[in-house]
Amino acid sequence: MSYWSKYPHIQTEMDKVEEILTDTVKSRRKIVQDASMDLIQAGGKRIRPALTIISAQFGQYESDKVTTLAAALELFHTATLIHDDIIDNASVRRGVETAQSKYGKDIAVYTGDYLFSKAFLLVSHIDGGQKVTHLSRFIKSICEGEIEQHAAKYNSSGSVVTYLKRIKYKTALLFALCCQVGAETANCSPKMIRSLRRYGMSIGTAFQLKDDLIDLTGDVKTTGKPVGSDILEGVYTMPLLYTLKNNLFRKKTLDLLDKGNLEHKDIYEIISFVKEAGGIKYTQEFERKYYHKARQTLRHLPNHPNVIILDKLIDEMAIRVK
């Protein structure tokens, strides 16, 4: 059962989004269609398109226009995941084999590009100007974020401030964009658009921090990916960066990180250092801070049923385990 089924006015629109996604990824090239559908059908809560719909319902809601836009944004997200998996050499995503693992890197690259082009095509049917500009800027920011992350691989001297800036581009901007363009499409007031965008930015940041925590503390049977995958890929997230600033743990953590060809026992030992140093608790505090920021923005929205939905979404995100 879909998470959104408890909200019929959202679920009805999400069903339309699913239809658009399925129809849009059809291709004469079966391998591209199959590679696209594998990840789309793997599901998830579809938080990003839902945020577009929820935000648009604060204004003059036009179902066809908004659901098309929501589907386009989900395609953008899916395309970035496919490219992420290529960069990270990931074999599993959402519990299923990744495109790059199943079909090879070449097909995965083409599939990601195909989905980007399909997303732009959908947006052009709604608005050939402003929204295309928004999405182009978003892709630019995503690319900059990915380049920064790649440049920061295996960098043990990174700061928490720099890391927060990086995840803004990597994750939070898309949440913010979904809220913003949904509200803009529905002709919401500038004040409302700003509030919804800030909400998206805050929960998007918290979402990535939760991902970072799950990578270190999650259960592989639940998450579908090995514990400590980020460490293996040289992506040092907030909990580890905090630990590396602790003089009691820095040297012994670096000794393991610098040895190369880390084994599972090395990963688990590093994670134990992170826990002892307080890296998990430190990151959890930041996560709670951004949930609080998101809640604060809701005070600036009008009395509307969707405010309650956005508030409850924060609670759901705070307890997720995958």
Above 80 in pLDDT, residue 129?
no
Q: Note whether residue 1 is domain-resident.
A: no
Q: Note whether residue 304 is domain-resident.
A: yes
Amino acid at 117: S
This prediction has a pTM of: 0.94
Assign 138 a pLDDT band (cuts: 50, 70, 90). confident
Q: Note whether residue 27 is domain-resident.
A: yes
Which alpha helices (DSSP H) does 25-172 contain, by range?
30-41, 47-56, 63-88, 99-102, 105-126, 130-151, 160-167
Q: What is the CA radius of gyration of the chain?
A: 20
Q: How many domains does the chain have?
A: 1
Q: Which residue has the higher pLDDT, 322 or 214?
A: 214
The whole-number average pLDDT for the span 269-281 is 98
Above 70 in pLDDT, residue 115?
yes
Cα separation, 103 vs 90, in Å, equals 13
Above 80 in pLDDT, residue 199?
yes
Count CA atoms closer than 13 A to 254's CA, side-chain side: 13
How do residues 75-111 score in pLDDT, each as one tens digit? 999 999 999 899 888 888 877 889 999 999 999 999 9
DSSP state of 43: -
Which domain covers residue 65, as residue numbers? 6-319
Mean pLDDT over all residues of the chain? Answer: 93
CA 155 vs CA 89, 150, 244, 252: distances in Å: 19, 10, 11, 16
The whole-number average pLDDT for the span 169-176 is 93
Cα separation, 270 vs 275, in Å, equals 9
CB 318 within 8 A of CB 291: yes
Above 90 in pLDDT, residue 172?
yes
CB 75 within 8 A of CB 118: yes
CB 173 within 8 A of CB 201: yes
Above 70 in pLDDT, residue 1?
no
Q: Note whether residue 166 is domain-resident.
A: yes
* Percent of the chain residues past pLDDT 90, beyond the cut: 75
Cα separation, 74 vs 12, in Å, equals 17
How do residues 51-62 score in pLDDT, each as one tens digit? 999 999 999 999
Q: Note whether residue 108 is domain-resident.
A: yes
pLDDT computed for residue 128 by the predictor? 60
Q: Note whether residue 48 is domain-resident.
A: yes
Q: Note whether residue 247 is domain-resident.
A: yes
pLDDT computed for residue 209 by the predictor? 98
CB 30 within 8 A of CB 142: no
DSSP state of 321: -
pLDDT computed for residue 87 by the predictor? 84
Residue carrying the six token digits 């503390």: 217
Residues 6+ apart with CB under 8 A from 276: 249
Q: Residue 172: exposed, middle, or buried by beta-carbon count in 10 A (0-12, 13-18, 19+)? A: buried
How would DSSP label each residue in 110-135?
HHHHHHHHHHHHHHHHH-SSHHHHHH
Cα separation, 125 vs 203, in Å, equals 29
CATH number of the domain bearing residue 71: 1.10.600.10
Q: Could you tell me which of 107, 51, 46, 117 has the C-alpha nearest to residue 82? A: 107
pLDDT computed for residue 42 by the predictor? 82
pLDDT computed for residue 243 by the predictor? 98
Assign 69 a pLDDT band (cuts: 50, 70, 90). very high
Q: Could you tell me which of 221, 227, 222, 225 has the C-alpha nearest to residue 239? A: 227
Q: Note whether residue 273 is domain-resident.
A: yes
